[in-house]
Chain A
């Protein structure tokens, strides 16, 4: 484009909604990419089950939060259009239309691809109605001993109203007719108890039999349903599942006691408005009508599926022993970080220079050790940390409590507002407070999403500050599944800024100036926009200009508009965005210099890394923030520069390799549709799976490649299996 053209382009309306993709639809397309891994025949069978389960659990969350939010908007007659110019009603219609298609696809994969393969591998999901003999005896006993005592069937009639059907529970609805009496039909329902395992394995038919057979709890109950309603004939029964609104938008300004308010909200969550009803395709029409009327769901909110409801049970099957061969083992386990030798003093190592870790390829253990060592180090005076989501039985929490016990000054910001983790976090927070830590229960009106640890240590040379900054949570469990980067440094400029961050989190004024860090919601958005604009200026003046940005989601209109402008000025922009992307790539005259790719693979891509060519003075940043309004405007987030040349090379390698990924990358075409790169490969083309290569490289770097490791690596899942 000629220079004058480039300048003319600047008057173009870059905020025209036509240039943007609706965020909900973009999310559905992300979940479709997860589902495509279940479809991918190159993945081992059990990994495919896992991906199908993840796609189902993602969908649950999406319904409870996003679909619910759309419904709220409609109820509130909220008229503002979204980034792509759609009303809430238009969005809800489009979303439900896409989701029906999506669910159909899920069950298509389940029934047509995975079930036959499971059978081929001698794993059978049986219907109790088809079983007889010893199996039947076993199930009789199982039902009588374990299931029946915990069932609470409830009938509905004029004196007994429709009971509360709890969010995300499986239930069995029945139409009953009194054995003696009129022809009146009553409705009754029973919840499939969540205290019992949903997947019940049947004993082997005979010793040495390789077949593994399971039944699902709801099917078991279905087959004994007449035992529940003794004086009735069961006309028909069917399982159903309801999802309710779970978007907790707490008005923090009004809450007198934030903690109590959140506790209250958790109890209330179950009582939200029903937003989705899942039923078996074969459900009796009358029964369905009754349930849907009582739950007040519209027709397009009813999902009739051809198979078991709630496919997340597949994760239980994934965890079955004995199917290791059907799982992924080609990804190496987290490796030691070369800089940290065995028994090396962690503080001494950091003193030698900044260290950048790439998780999960490199172990998260050093971060845990960092806090653990600080807890017992007599020279450590203070530890400060932000906690967003922590693992169950977190060693970091234990270390912090120990540190307080050892007389260290421990300040912890526990973010109570981390969605779905509130209950968990309140427990930790109270425990830490009891141990003597100074606990800050989040900030009013803002979520603290930044990941930062500061350790103040008295050394020979005086007071020294050690800082850890990261893109991922202080969660040793998810750190094995999420790809993140973390920086250890003791450079005074970072230490001063880290101190300032904690001063601000404690309620003190903003420092007079910052050295290195950019903080949301203060200046981060402006900083990002300035960095993009700077590239644009470089491009206009003929200097080298390029942006590579890797993140989870991008939907900030102002930022996207700046990217469009930069693209028009000739800046080459490559975005690696795993999830939601409201930017359209490749629009002629708008974003033809922008590419968008999403990597969905064995690990959850979670790091946020930004590269700016800056006329040859390359700049690298890592951040806890996505380029979304909530991150840049309603959360406390940090972006930090990585300045050491060796570490910048490491970040460059991450970006570069992911841009060359051919196996797990999906590239957005000019219609906004993601195309899996593996499908485009010709025979003989080099296959690149970036995650696998990173894992191998970390293995090699830790000096272990030559030693054969016969141990089998069993991936540990995020407890929620949630993306």
Chain B
């Protein structure tokens, strides 16, 4: 028998979409239906920060109908996400509650980095091609309504990612304001994009050569998918093949483009914008090949769910991408590689040996690892206010794959590693938007982090092997080192007391001298 039928809902800035999937171990992820309702809430929320009652009513109507469609397929689980337009709505809690009361559909809000990560993950649905493409330096260009995300791959690992506020809808709206003529349109769009791209190029690309572009969007992708404009088909095209079709579309009326490419006529203006955008990125990156796997956020949502439920397994290690991204940030702020490696090793050893005590998840382990990687980024700005600066850097830097809350957890752990811990009921603004559960995660991870940090107080990486065991009310940390650790031992108590406070276990160092 089959696995289950799953629904993914994307409440986007210019469209509400529903995709129905069948998930099974044998067939993986199979799309059954794709329903789209055009609704431009983006223009409204970007400008006013609010969704009008007219749009809320329409959303309720559409989501109620989606529910019926879900029933038609016997959907057992669903996941609904709101993206940038919802994110930028000030009264989102009220709107969400209203929608949930009326439709029974709960909408989660995705941060930009989460959204991009889901998009990115969904490319792995086509994993054979994906692994082949990223063997060479590759950039993923994820084009949304409000912004675009460019992510760079090197040696099959994600190394950098940057969000630019040049989404197709935003560009299109801007162009409408300047009343650009048809002939000038592409030129002006290029000018707008190039100005933003130049910063990105300087910061991330430098002299790097990008070979491939992977495109995620709603306009160019269907065309590349359906018409296999490249010789390989399946959404592949060379630079010249791509440019040819974009130029061809530029010379035709919207009606003729729609007819020729078999797409809705209303999408043609945005196809022009997306085409120009990609052309500019091609120029900036000098990429020779394009691949549009034709996936949408809904595919990513389904993929994530299917992976969680073990229907599919991707050979690609996504956690490694998040870690690589964090390492890259650390590198940008001149973090010490050997120090972070030592800290990571000790912290994760403590984490793994105390799972029964802390009760944290695998995801928390990843957050701890990222905290160790970024633990010293603040020193780039100030050696005195290390904790505060690190906190600010992390909170201002997108780490692809982490939600806003997860990022706040990491930033707080790093901060409290250096600064005095603040308590939840102390009224600290640092915990704004975080739940009590998140606060507890922060305190537990901070406790571990502080112990690990205490063991490497002198930053000399004196401990090569660390094992941890629990005896009575003590956390015994066995260290193998022939180095003099008097200082570490002496200063350890300050660090360890917080651990004791949190877990009720007293950390004790036991040195096993190496011969």
Residues in A lying within 8 Å of B, measured CB to CB: 381-382, 409, 411, 438, 456, 458, 460-463, 499-500, 503, 506-514, 523, 526
Which B residues, 204 to 254, have Cβ-Cβ distances below 8 Å to chain A? 218, 222, 225-226
24 A-B pairs with C-beta separation under 8 A: A381-B71, A382-B71, A382-B73, A409-B71, A409-B72, A458-B2, A458-B74, A462-B27, A462-B30, A463-B2, A463-B5, A463-B32, A463-B74, A503-B35, A508-B35, A510-B264, A511-B36, A512-B34, A512-B264, A513-B222, A513-B263, A514-B262, A523-B259, A523-B262
Also in contact, A526 and B259, with CB within 8 A (given A460-B2, A510-B264, A511-B34): yes
User: CB of B102 within 8 A of chain A?
Assistant: no
B24 within 8 A of A: yes
CB-defined contacts of A382 to chain B, threshold 8 Å: 71-73
Chain A's nearest CB lies how many Å from the CB of B378? 47
Is B15 an interface residue when CB atoms closer than 8 A count as contact?
A: yes
Contacts of B264 in A (CB 8 A): 509-510, 512
| B33, A499: Cβ atoms closer than 8 Å | yes
Cβ A381 vs Cβ B262 within 8 A = no
Given the known interface contacts A409-B72, A513-B226, A523-B259, the answer about A462 and B24 at a Cβ–Cβ threshold of 8 Å is yes
Give the interface SS of chain B, mostly helix, strand, loop or mixed.
mixed
Least Cβ–Cβ distance between A440 and chain B, in angstroms: 11
Closest 3 CB pairs of A and B: A382-B72, A512-B222, A409-B72
A456 to B72, CA, bound (A): 8
Given A503-B35, A512-B264, 16 more pairs with CB closer than 8 A: A381-B71, A381-B72, A382-B71, A409-B71, A458-B2, A460-B2, A461-B2, A462-B2, A462-B27, A463-B2, A507-B37, A512-B222, A512-B263, A513-B222, A513-B225, A513-B226
Q: How far is the CB of A251 from chain B (nearest CB, A)?
A: 24
User: Least Cβ distance of A509 to chain B in Å?
Assistant: 4
A507 to B58, CA, bound (A): 12
Q: Is residue B1 contacting chain A, with contact meaning CB distance below 8 A?
A: yes
Find A463's partner among B15, B73, B225 (CB 8 Å cutoff). Answer: B73
CB distance B35 to A456 under 8 Å? no
A409 to B72, CA, bound (A): 5
In the assembled complex, which residues on chain A have CB atoms less than 8 Å from the CB atom of B218?
512
Cβ-based interface call for B68 (8 A):
yes
Contact flags B13-34 to A (C-beta < 8 A → 1, else 0):
0010000001010010010111
A513 CB contacts on chain B under 8 angstroms? 222, 225-226, 262-263
Q: How far is the CB of A403 from chain B (nearest CB, A)?
A: 12
Chain B residues whose C-beta falls within 8 Å of the C-beta of A526 in the assembled complex: 259
The smallest beta-carbon distance between A636 and chain B, in angstroms, is: 15
Q: Determine the distance from Cα of A523 to Cα of B71 in the docked complex, in whole angstroms.
A: 31
Contact check: which of A409, A509, A511 meets B37 at CB < 8 Å? A509
Measured between beta carbons, the chain A residues less than 8 angstroms from B55 are none
- CB of B65 within 8 Å of the partner chain: yes
B295 to chain A, nearest CB (A): 12
Contacts of A512 in B (CB 8 A): 34, 218, 222, 226, 263-264
What separation, in Å, do the CA atoms of A128 and B263 have in the docked complex?
A: 70
User: Please, which residues of chain B bring their CB within 8 A of the CB of A511?
Assistant: 34, 36
CB distance from B120 to the nearest CB of A (A): 21
A311 to chain B, nearest CB (A): 48
**CB of B38 closer than 8 Å to a CB of A:** yes
Query: Which B40-79 residues have a C-beta within 8 angstroms of A?
Result: 65, 68, 71-74
| B interface with A by C-beta (< 8 Å) | 1-2, 5, 15, 22, 24, 27, 30, 32-38, 65, 68, 71-74, 218, 222, 225-226, 259, 262-264
- Give chain B residues whose Cβ lies under 8 Å from the Cβ of A381: 71-74
Interface residue from B1, B36, B259 paired with A509 (Cβ < 8 Å): B36
Q: What residues of B have a CB within 8 angstroms of the CB of A514 in the complex?
A: 262
Give CA–CA (A512, B263) in the complex, Å: 6
Closest partner residue, chain A, to B32 (CB atom): A463
* A465 to B, closest residue via Cβ: B32
By the criterion CB–CB under 8 Å, are A509 and B38 in contact?
A: yes
Per the bound structure, the CA–CA distance linking A510 and B225 in Å amounts to 17
Give bound CA distance, A394 to B123, whole Å: 49
| Chain B residues closer than 8 Å to A461, beta-carbon distance | 2
- The one of B22, B36, B72 that contacts A462, using a Cβ cutoff of 8 Å: B22
Which B residues are CB-close (under 8 A) to A507? 37
Closest to B70 in A: A409
Q: Which residues of A contact B73 (CB under 8 A)?
A: 381-382, 456, 463
A381, B73: Cα distance in complex, Å: 6
- When distances are taken between beta carbons in the complex, the residues of chain A under 8 Å from B263 are 512-513
Whole-angstrom CA separation of A395 from B39 in the bound complex: 39
**Chain A residues positioned under 8 Å from B30 (CB to CB):** 462
Chain A residues within 8 Å of B262, by CB: 513-514, 523
Contacts of A462 in B (CB 8 A): 2, 22, 24, 27, 30
Find chain B residues with CB under 8 A from A456 CB.
Answer: 72-73
Candidates A460, A463, A509; contact of B22 at CB < 8 Å: A463
Shortest Cβ gap from A345 to chain B (Å): 19
Of A458, A462, A508, A512, most buried by chain B (CB within 10 Å of CB) is: A512
Distance of B266 from chain A, by nearest CB (Å): 8
Q: Is the CB of A508 within 8 A of B68?
A: no
A406 to B332, CA, bound (A): 63
C-alpha gap A463/B2 in the complex (Å): 9
Q: Is the CB of B36 within 8 A of A508?
A: yes
Closest residue of chain A to B39 (Cβ to Cβ) is A509
Question: Which residues of the other chain, A, contact B259 by a CB distance below 8 angstroms?
Answer: 523, 526
Min CB distance, B422 to chain A, in Å? 50
Interchain CB contact under 8 A, B22 and A438: no
**A-side contacts of B15, CB under 8 Å:** 509
Closest to B18 in A: A508
* Complex alpha-carbon distance, A506 and B69, angstroms: 11
Q: Whole-angstrom distance between the alpha carbons of A117 and B377 in the complex?
A: 108
Assuming the contacts A458-B74, A513-B263, asked whether A506 and B65 have C-beta atoms less than 8 A apart, the reply is yes
Task: Report Cα–Cα, A513/B36, bound state, in Å.
Answer: 13
Q: Which residue of B lies closest to A410 (CB)?
A: B72
Closest to B37 in A: A508
Report the nearest B residue to A523, measured CB to CB.
B259
Using CB atoms, name the residue of chain B closest to A511: B34
Q: What residues of A have a CB within 8 angstroms of the CB of B72 in the complex?
A: 381-382, 409, 411, 456
Chain A residues lying within 8 Å of B34, measured Cβ to Cβ, are 500, 511-512
Q: What residues on A are CB-neighbors of B22 within 8 Å?
A: 462-463
Expressed in whole angstroms, the Cα–Cα distance for A462 and B29 within the complex equals 11
B37 contacts A438, C-beta separation under 8 Å:
no
- From A456, A463, A500, A523, name the one whose CB has the most chain B CB atoms within 10 angstroms: A463
Rounded to whole angstroms, the CA-CA distance of A267 and B82 in the bound complex is 49
Question: How far is the CB of B354 from the nearest CB of chain A, in Å?
Answer: 44
Q: Which one of B2, B27, B33 has the greatest number of beta carbons of chain A within 10 Å?
A: B33
Write the chain A residue with the least CB distance to B227: A513
